[in-house]
């Protein structure tokens, strides 16, 4: 449980009363009660208000807000406000201003605008965190600390350059080791003095986003920036913990956000929280996968849904409304996959600046007679009725999918073999196939204990970090099933090719070696031709993106390419290793192949879906387990009702308060939660 003060699924969101006159505050209180709001995130962007100059602190508005909300039964998620520095700080201490990738010094403006290696920013951010902790450490309404907001964005200033060189000294020890790791003899880049190293931006090594001349330095700069921003978080966290050791500390993450290694960040967070903003056309399974990734950041611990919109966003190209029922449906999707909170941005709509058209519980009209408010109030009542039943409930997946941010960075920085290779999309292909079969999957890091699982899938594991190959071999040797794909096992943690034949350190486990890699144009396809029927996996399937030209070194060849000069070469192999099996999928298969392939692997391991038969199209299933009880979620993402077979065992419908068995009707865009 996040905090014993509020033993239920928290319901609320970002609240900015400082943007409104006091007469509005009483109306907020009335409407919060109607909606069942019991948590407000405050002070997210109030640094300039609470610290109008270097020597003055004014907490009067925050004092009043904290006391008023608690008196009205609303608890506090208290932010440190360091997501945007005040204008006076930028003018007086320009080292807080970032330098962009093109080498331009920013002026004051926007947010995510502070250099993470600025001495001034670090000094003042720690100071304001300490002031807040000292002042509110004993406040009865304080539930959790929220450090900064949506960390992100890189800086390329001289402070960052100096910090980068210090970080490199600690990482490599000597210039000889660094030169070797970066392969600097290429293009005459050998360094003889640490001060010769400059940041990799568009004035030096990089251009056009993720394009770089030297993958080694660009990869390390991404590691360094993730580390630098994390250090800012940890400095504030330390101040908060000094005064409130028992109050949890978090910061809101952003799903598959590319710039920060969230597995490393999660080690320093009491609970993971994140902001969920899918588009109307985002695949349902992709959102589910993102929730599962957030749960996986701390090895299955529940997480906080810190932000979602009640209705629409303001920053996407097409800001569609959530159709009736979708806000409730997507809220329960988060809960089904591990969320112990349902929170919004925002509780009342702003009237100015760039987020004035971002949805809110209380719309610009200012009263409760809106569709959005009615839906929010109904959900608030339901969450109240559920009490603490679902809190701290876990999943029991037997399949794991490996995801790694550093692997993603290395792939995106790679100068070939194709711009069409998208790591997240390839991971999603495997997740989506399991999702359609109603099979649970955990999203895990390369450091996770693999022995907990029966099947481990590591799509496009281009970078093999120290120790992972050995752990994969131990997992398979003990009876596990391991799957990896094309363009895997190519490089080490420094993005240096492992010589001796692809897939490098995975070669012995997989029993194959890859001679060449063919990059297909978007309109090109090849074929996967099964050599024999494997429990329904037979015939011919499409594949594309990349095709590894592999040779068997003991692995059984299950399928071959059907076209081009490498027709007849292996495309799907299975290697018996110890008591287990290791599969290699040498290209990117179509949907039909993926589902049949994974269905066979699950059947071999006795892994069944959450239902007696596959759910109807559009119906998502998920399960949480607590104190020996199972909670099965049926989430209908279709507009029409669906009949779902749940089996003959009676279960309790927690929302309808009835006992059910056999076939259950799930309304269009509706939710059923079954306890057994």
Give, for 121, the enclosing helix (H) or strand (E): helix 119-136
Longest C-alpha distance within the chain, in Å?
77
CB atoms within 10 A of CB 415: 9
Tokens of 165: 């060189």
Give yes or no for a cis peptide into 408 (omega within 30° of 0): no
Chain-centre distance for alpha carbon 588: 23
Catalytic residue among 150, 206, 440, 448: 150
Angstrom CA distances, 19 to 76, 385, 391, 549, stand at 18, 33, 34, 61
SS3 state of residue 431: helix
Q: In sequence order, what E strands does 505-585 have?
A: 512-519, 526-530, 540-552, 556-561, 570-577, 580-585
Q: In sequence order, which residues have a C-beta less than 8 Å from that of residue 329 and are 6 or more positions away?
A: 635, 636, 637, 669, 670, 671
Catalytic residue at 307? yes
Q: Strand pairing of 512-519 and 540-552?
A: antiparallel
CB atoms within 10 A of CB 470: 11
Alpha carbons 21 and 432: distance in angstroms, whole number:
48
Alpha carbons 358 and 372: distance in angstroms, whole number:
13
Alpha carbons 674 and 651: distance in angstroms, whole number:
6
- Residues facing 527 on adjacent strands: 542
Q: In sequence order, what E strands does 235-347 have?
A: 249-250, 252-253, 273-275, 303-307, 339-344
User: Are the CB atoms for 139 and 250 separated by under 8 Å?
Assistant: no
User: Are the CB atoms for 514 and 543 separated by under 8 Å?
Assistant: no
Catalytic residue at 527? no
Helix axes 175-182, 215-243, angle to 10 degrees: 120
Instruction: Write the DSSP string, 452-513.
Output: G-SEEEETT--B--TTHHHHHHHHHHTT-EEEEESS-S-B-TTS-B-SSSBTGGGHHHHTEE
Catalytic residue among 72, 206, 307, 620: 307
Known catalytic residues are 150, 307
């Amino acid at each position: 449980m996040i905090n014993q003060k509020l033993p239920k699924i928290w319901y609320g969101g970002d609240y900015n009363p400082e943007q409104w006159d006091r007469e509005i505050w009483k109306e907020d209180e009335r409407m919060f009660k109607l909606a069942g709001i019991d948590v407000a995130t405050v002070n997210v962007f109030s640094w300039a208000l609470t610290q109008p100059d270097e020597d003055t602190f004014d907490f009067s508005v925050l004092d009043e807000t904290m006391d008023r909300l608690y008196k009205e039964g609303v608890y506090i998620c208290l932010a440190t406000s360091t997501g945007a520095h005040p204008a006076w700080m930028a003018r007086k201490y320009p080292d807080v201003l970032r330098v962009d990738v093109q080498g331009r010094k920013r002026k004051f403006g926007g947010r995510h605008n502070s250099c993470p290696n600025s001495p001034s920013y670090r000094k003042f951010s720690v100071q304001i965190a300490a002031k807040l902790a000292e002042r509110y450490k004993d406040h009865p309404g304080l539930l959790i600390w929220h450090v900064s907001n949506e960390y992100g964005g890189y800086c390329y200033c001289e402070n960052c350059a100096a910090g980068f060189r210090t970080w490199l000294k600690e990482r490599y020890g000597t210039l000889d080791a660094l030169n070797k790791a970066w392969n600097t003899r290429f293009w005459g880049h050998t360094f003889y003095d640490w001060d010769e190293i400059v940041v990799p931006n568009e004035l030096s090594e990089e251009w056009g986003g993720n394009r770089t001349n030297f993958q080694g330095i660009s990869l390390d700069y991404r590691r360094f920036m993730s580390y630098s921003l994390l250090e800012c978080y940890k400095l504030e966290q330390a101040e908060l913990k000094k005064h409130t050791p028992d109050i949890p500390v978090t910061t809101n993450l952003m799903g598959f956000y590319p710039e920060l290694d969230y597995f490393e960040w999660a080690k320093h967070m009491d609970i993971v929280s994140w902001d969920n903003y899918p588009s109307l056309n985002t695949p349902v399974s992709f959102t589910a996968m993102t929730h599962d990734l957030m749960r996986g950041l701390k090895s299955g611990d529940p997480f906080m849904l810190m932000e979602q919109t009640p209705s629409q966003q303001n920053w996407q190209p097409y800001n569609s409304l959530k159709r009736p029922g979708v806000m409730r449906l997507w809220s329960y999707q988060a809960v089904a996959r591990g969320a112990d909170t349902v929170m919004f941005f925002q509780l009342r709509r702003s009237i100015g600046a760039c987020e004035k058209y971002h949805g809110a519980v209380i719309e610009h009209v200012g009263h409760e007679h809106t569709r959005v408010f009615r839906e929010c109030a109904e959900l608030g009542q339901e969450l109240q009725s559920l009490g603490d039943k679902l809190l701290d409930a876990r999943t029991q997946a037997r399949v794991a999918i490996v995801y790694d941010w550093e692997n993603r960075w290395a792939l995106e920085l790679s100068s070939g073999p194709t711009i069409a290779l998208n790591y997240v999309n390839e991971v999603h292909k495997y997740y989506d196939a399991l999702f359609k079969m109603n099979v649970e999957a955990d999203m895990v890091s390369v450091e996770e204990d693999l022995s907990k699982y029966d099947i481990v899938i590591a799509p496009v594991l281009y970078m093999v970090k120290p120790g992972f190959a050995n752990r994969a071999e131990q997992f398979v040797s003990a009876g596990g099933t391991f799957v990896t794909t094309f363009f895997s096992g190519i490089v080490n943690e420094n993005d240096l090719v492992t010589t001796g034949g692809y897939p490098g350190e995975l070669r012995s486990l997989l029993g194959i070696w890859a001679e060449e890699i063919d990059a297909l144009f978007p309109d090109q396809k090849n074929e996967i031709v099964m050599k024999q029927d494997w429990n329904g996996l037979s015939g011919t399937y499409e594949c594309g993106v990349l095709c590894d030209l592999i040779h068997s070194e003991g692995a059984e060849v299950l399928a071959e390419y059907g076209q081009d000069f490498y027709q007849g070469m292996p495309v799907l192999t299975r290697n018996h290793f110890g008591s287990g099996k290791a599969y290699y999928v040498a290209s990117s298969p179509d949907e039909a192949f993926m589902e049949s392939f994974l269905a066979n692997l699950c059947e071999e391991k006795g892994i069944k879906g959450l239902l007696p038969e596959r759910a109807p199209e559009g119906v998502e299933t998920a399960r949480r387990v607590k104190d020996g009880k199972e909670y099965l979620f049926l989430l209908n993402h279709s507009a029409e009702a669906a009949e779902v077979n749940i089996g003959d065992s009676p279960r309790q419908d927690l929302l309808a308060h009835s006992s059910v068995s056999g076939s259950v009707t799930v309304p269009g865009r509706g939710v059923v939660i079954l306890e057994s």
